Amino acid sequence: MIRVLTRVFDIDQDVGQKAVQSHLWDIASALVPIGCAGEFNQGMMELGALVCSPIEPRCLACPWKHFCAAYRDGVQQFRPVKVKKTKPKPQELVSVVIKRTDGAVWLTKRPEKGLFGGMWEVPTHEKHPDDDRSPHTVAQAVISHLTDQSAHLVCLADVRHTLTHRQLRVHTFCAHFESPSDLFVGTADGNGRWVADEHGLRSLGIGTLTRKILQRAKVFCDEPKQANLL
């Protein structure tokens, strides 16, 4: 039925889109004669199978040829439009959850341009395909960019997240410091801060991926009663 309708009405949009599918259902519903839904559906299926075939449709034998917009314009071979979905490309990231002894977590703000532009996240490094360093080594480098204090890194289970064009695999670590200070890079320019509770997270508007990472590290499992953004 989709093939017939897209040709008759010359619908040149991707039939894989939900909005287009909804539009086609509206058209079909409007065409169904009252009390004859079964006969109409059967006729449409036979028309699609015997006449309005995917390849080399028999347009001259079609009872709707005088009303078919695609046949009139000579584009029936190009209907329906089906856009092949691009398979998301795999990408590896390394994220480090840094917690103070009081439970506060360190977040940094991403650059305005690029992946997750302008959003707050735990310190994260996008690992390029030609980067042969281990995730643990990358995590140590992430820490060294923030502070000269040594940290004990605990490897957590990977976090996976799918975007339209990317399949993300996030190697996740939790960093433990004996006495973490507030002297991390970014405090002065506003690109980094300690967040002490769930309300603080909400005030920053973190994304789904960061939420997954924090849940993996069991950060802010219990929502506090008062906001406290440091």
CA distance linking residue 11 with residue 19, whole number of Å: 12
Which position has the higher pLDDT, 187 or 90? 90
CA distance linking residue 220 with residue 210, whole number of Å: 13
- Length reported for the chain: 230
Q: Are 207 and 124 in contact (CB under 8 A)?
A: no
Same domain for 65 and 23, yes or no, is yes
Least confident of 26-30, 85-89, 141-145, 186-190: 186-190
Task: Look at residues 78, 105, 139 and tell me which one is the last residue of a structural domain.
Answer: 78
Count structural domains, the chain. Answer: 2
Same domain for 109 and 176, yes or no, is yes
Q: Which residue has the tokens 């643990």?
A: 136
**65-113 residue pLDDT tens:** 999 999 999 999 999 999 888 888 999 999 999 988 788 899 999 887 7
Same domain for 55 and 106, yes or no, is no
Query: pLDDT band at residue 180, thresholds of 50, 70 and 90?
Result: low
> Which residue, 122, 15, 153, is CA-closest to 28?
15
Same domain for 170 and 202, yes or no, is yes
Is 226 a domain residue? no
Cα dihedral 53, 58, 61, 67 in deg (nearest 10): 70
Q: How far apart are the first and last CA of the chain?
A: 60
Same domain for 104 and 185, yes or no, is yes
Query: Is the predicted pLDDT of residue 2 greater than 70, yes or no?
Result: yes
Q: What is the pLDDT of residue 190?
A: 59
Residue 49 is part of a domain; what is its CATH number? 1.10.1670.10
Task: Look at residues 30, 49, 78 and tell me which one is the last residue of a structural domain.
Answer: 78
- Residue 175's domain comprises 89-216
**113-167 residue pLDDT tens:** 777 878 999 999 999 999 999 999 999 999 988 888 888 899 999 999 998 889 9
Query: pLDDT band at residue 46, thresholds of 50, 70 and 90?
Result: very high
Which H or E run includes 31? helix 18-31
Which position has the higher pLDDT, 164 or 32? 32
